[in-house]
Amino acid sequence: MQHRMGCARAIAALTLCFIPGLLSAQTYPNKPVRMVVASAPGGGTDFVARVLSTRLTENLGQPAVIDNRGGAGGTIGTDIVAKAPPDGYTLLMVFINFSIHPSLYQKLPYDPVKDFAPVSTLATTPLILVVNPQVPAKSVKELIALGKAPGSRLNYAAPGVGSLGHLAGELFKNMTGVNMAHVAYKGGGPSITALIGGEVQAYFATMPAALAQVKAGRLRALAVTSAKRAAAEPNIPTIAESGVSGYDVTGWFGVMAPARTPKAVVTRLNQEFVKALGSPDVKERLSAEGLDPVSSTPEEFAATIKSDIAKWGKVVKESGINPA
């Protein structure tokens, strides 16, 4: 009898442990979902978040609210989500920079693997090398020649030290020998503004942040950073085919939740993001800005993050980049 009572108590205890997770999954969501973008408005991550927020609002039946928290290369906004309650109501919209930070910052306030629950990738994209129209270079070859001219010095913008735009610029410098200095800003939006205003001469930008300005004539596109031309802008050559053989930089966007978020909630979020990415209007808007909508399972996204942490760690070490 005592043995049976002991077993009953153990089963009851285990049941109580699972009840909060079960209840949260059954009632989720019953209030607005906050989508933290760890950069200023106007950049590529912000664009992706805003495109998806409308569809997500419809799918979840609750407002999906954008919360821009820029600064420190994205670590401020990222830390906010790492320390948020693991209930599915605070999400982090990320760019590939998320996988670069572990090798760049020795003391991150969060663990990029242990403190987050990957939900899904959202899109992939090359960067696009754009210049201020006043720069006397209409091709990559002309930009290289300009940067190598005696007494010449070019400045290029990047949304934070160690961002993909920064690493793309450093890789370009290393492969071409061009004299080009990095200037860090607090996001894609401020970087674009600085370039248009003539504070810097070039920028390795995300496609969504730059294409509208290119089409408006406020910026000039020289090339994309991927190995193949972008489907959205097939007339823009790649840096590799422009004379820098082997150059290839491609980024991804994704969404994360805090670690220990109930698996059922993560699964629900994954399903809703996949559904949103499959809608024709979302596909059209993302594709028009040079993005390739790509979803994944949480497990696949987790594997991508771990792989890129190792990949970009090697690049950061070889480049000797240190945060400002």
Residue 48 lies in a domain: yes
Q: 153-210, pLDDT tens digit by residue?
A: 899 999 878 888 999 998 899 899 999 999 999 888 899 999 999 999 999 998 888 9
Residue 49 to residue 36: CA distance in whole angstroms: 9
pLDDT at 7 over 70: no
Domain that residue 15 falls in: 7-125+252-319
Residue 103 lies in a domain: yes
Task: Answer with the residue of higher pLDDT: 1 or 187.
Answer: 187
User: Count of alpha carbons within 13 Å of 254, Cβ hemisphere only?
Assistant: 26
Q: Are 209 and 315 within one domain?
A: no
pLDDT in the model for residue 12 = 52
Tokens of 74: 């994205």
Residue 221 to residue 96: CA distance in whole angstroms: 22
CB 274 within 8 A of CB 69: no
Q: What percent of the chain has pLDDT over 70?
A: 92
Average pLDDT (249-278) is: 96
Lowest mean pLDDT among 178-182, 190-194, 259-263, 318-322: 318-322
pLDDT band at 9 (very low <50, low <70, confident <90, very high): low
pLDDT in the model for residue 13 = 53
Residue 245 lies in a domain: no
pLDDT at 287 over 70: yes
278: closest CA among 266, 294, 264, 289?
A: 294
Residue 178 lies in a domain: yes
pLDDT in the model for residue 255 = 98
- Give buried/exposed letters for 263-282 (b at 16+ CB in 10 A, else e): eebbebbbebbbebbeeeeb
Chain mean position to CA 57: 21
Q: Are 147 and 209 within one domain?
A: yes
What percent of the residues of the chain are helix, what percent strand, and what percent coil, each to the nearest 5?
Answer: 45, 20, 35
Average pLDDT (268-275) is: 97
Q: Are 209 and 311 within one domain?
A: no
Q: Are 110 and 189 within one domain?
A: no
Number of domains making up the chain: 2
Q: What percent of the chain has pLDDT over 90?
A: 68
Q: Are 81 and 143 within one domain?
A: no
Q: Are 14 and 111 within one domain?
A: yes
pLDDT band at 322 (very low <50, low <70, confident <90, very high): confident
Q: For strand 116-131 and strand 220-224, is the pairing parallel, antiparallel, or unpaired?
A: antiparallel
Task: Answer with the residue of higher pLDDT: 231 or 245.
Answer: 245
Tokens of 125: 């994209």
Q: Are 113 and 24 within one domain?
A: yes
Q: Which of 224, 239, 263 is the last residue of a domain?
A: 224
Q: Are 14 and 109 within one domain?
A: yes
DSSP assigned state of 238:
B
Average pLDDT (36-48) is: 91
Task: Answer with the residue of higher pLDDT: 315 or 114.
Answer: 114
Alpha-carbon radius of gyration of the chain: 22
Q: Which of 224, 244, 263 is the last residue of a domain?
A: 224
C-alpha triplet 5, 10, 11: angle, nearest 5° = 100
Q: For strand 250-258 and strand 90-95, is the pairing parallel, antiparallel, or unpaired?
A: antiparallel
Q: Are 286 and 204 within one domain?
A: no
The per-residue pLDDT of the chain, averaged, comes to: 90
Residue 311 lies in a domain: yes
Q: Are 268 and 312 within one domain?
A: yes
pLDDT at 133 over 50: yes
Chain mean position to CA 218: 24
Q: For strand 64-68 and strand 116-131, is the pairing parallel, antiparallel, or unpaired?
A: unpaired
68: closest CA among 23, 96, 36?
A: 36
Average pLDDT (94-121) is: 93
Residue 234 lies in a domain: no
CATH number of residue 168's parent domain: 3.40.190.10
Q: Are 11 and 121 within one domain?
A: yes
Judged by DSSP in three states, 121 sits in strand
Average pLDDT (109-132) is: 96
Strand partners, 126: 250
Residue 244 lies in a domain: no
Task: Answer with the residue of higher pLDDT: 232 or 99.
Answer: 99
pLDDT at 102 over 80: yes
Average pLDDT (102-114) is: 91
CATH number of residue 18's parent domain: 3.40.190.150
pLDDT in the model for residue 33 = 98
Residue 189 to residue 193: CA distance in whole angstroms: 6
Question: CB count, 10 Å around CB of 19?
Answer: 10
Q: Are 101 and 154 within one domain?
A: no
The pTM for the full model equals 0.78
Residue 223 to residue 64: CA distance in whole angstroms: 35
Task: Answer with the residue of higher pLDDT: 102 or 25.
Answer: 102
Residue 243 lies in a domain: no
CB 67 within 8 A of CB 34: yes
pLDDT band at 11 (very low <50, low <70, confident <90, very high): low
pLDDT band at 23 (very low <50, low <70, confident <90, very high): very low
